[in-house]
Chains A and B, each alone.
Chain A
Amino acid sequence: MGHTLDIAIRASILLICLGYIVLAFPGYAPLPELTAQVNAQVLNTAGIHTISLQRYVVVSFSQADRIYELSSECSGLLVYLMFLIGIAVVPYFSVSNRLFALLFLPILFMGNALRILFGILIGYRFSVDASEFFHATFGQVLIFFWVLVCFILWLKLTRNFPKEE
């Protein structure tokens, strides 16, 4: 019974991922919209006037308002998929451990939102070029590093982390 339930949960996770990739194409709503809203909220709290509009974040720079466009992949789509597929594909985890992994989705979301926030702040403090450079280099490494950290943390918390023989 437990094994059947495990198989069902793993298959469901994979099917949901696949379904989302196909059905939500190309906009992948509501990920970009949510990410834009969270970033706008945080930036407004920090005193930088920002408005989110669909997948865009309009930030009041000193000279002019600049528009940041969040792509679907950059709204965390790949990050969540990598994490969820990893959780679903690897065998011999208990059902509760797999369900516990779902709690890491908000943590992944916040990590990705923070990465975008850093990029915008760099643009605000320095220049648009610096912002683009950050996204193209450190930002991309940071977010995948964040997935790995979440995965390792999940393994540790669920006592599934491989031990030395």
Chain B
Amino acid sequence: MKRTKKGGLLLSMLLLFGIIVPMVGADPIPQTHLFLSLDTKWEHANPGDAFVVRADVKNIGDNPAFLIQARLQNVPDDWAVQSQSFPWILVLEPGQTKPLFFIVERGQTDATIYAEAEAYNAPMVISNRIPIPVGIGVIVALSFIGGVLFYREATIRKKHTK
């Protein structure tokens, strides 16, 4: 197998973080945190459609992140996922964003996929966002109540001044 420069770097980093650092007994790598967002390109409404998933990983902590890997989750069995040949980000400086790509061929089953990313020195982050929305029904109902109250108040005040 041909040894690439990136492969060599990965191997030496794995050696450092997996063997040398634990053997020394101290963890000199400070913790950081990641942010993950997913984006898809190409239509994928029908079975057999292939599309590209781009996972953007951002280092939102104060220290560099090492050995970052992202995985797609909630992928049905009849879907095929092909990640890029080198599915790692070796180093991510604070504030820096780098993408990882996946080619997905969808099957019969419908699914909403999401991703997880983690680094050697960063906890796992899940791309699924927890929305904090306001329901449209609530807005309509309360606008109506508010409107009635304001109208009533305005009418009373007009009457008082006459």
Contacts and interface: CB of A to CB of B under 8 A. Distances in A.
Contact of B154 (A78, A82, A89, A135): A89
Interface string A62-81: 01111111110110001000
Interface residues of A, number: 37
Interface stretch (B42-50, B64-72, B135-143): B135-143
B129 A67 contact: yes
B25 interface: no
Interface residues of B, number: 35
B115 to A, nearest CB: 12
Contacts of B127: 67
Given A71-B133, A89-B154, A162-B153, A65 B138 contact: no
Contact of B134 (A64, A89, A140): A140
Interface in B28-72: 33-36, 58, 60-61
Contact of A119 (B132, B150, B158): B132
A136 interface: yes
A67 B126 contact: yes
Contact of A66 (B130, B139, B157): B130
B35 to A, nearest CB: 6
Interface string B118-162: 000001111111111111001100110010011001101110110
Among A65, A71, A140: residue with most chain B CB under 10 A:
A65
B132 A71 contact: yes
Contact of B123 (A53, A65, A144, A147): A65
Interface of B: 33-36, 58, 60-61, 116, 123-135, 138-139, 142-143, 146, 149-150, 153-154, 156-158, 160-161
10 contacts: A66-B125, A67-B36, A67-B128, A73-B133, A82-B146, A86-B150, A90-B153, A123-B130, A141-B138, A162-B153
Interface of A: 49, 51, 53, 56, 58, 60, 63-71, 73-74, 78, 82, 86, 89-92, 116, 119, 123, 128, 131-132, 135-136, 140-141, 144, 147, 162
Q: Rank and list the top 4 A-B pairs by shortest CB-CB distance, nearest first.
A: A64-B124, A65-B125, A69-B129, A73-B134
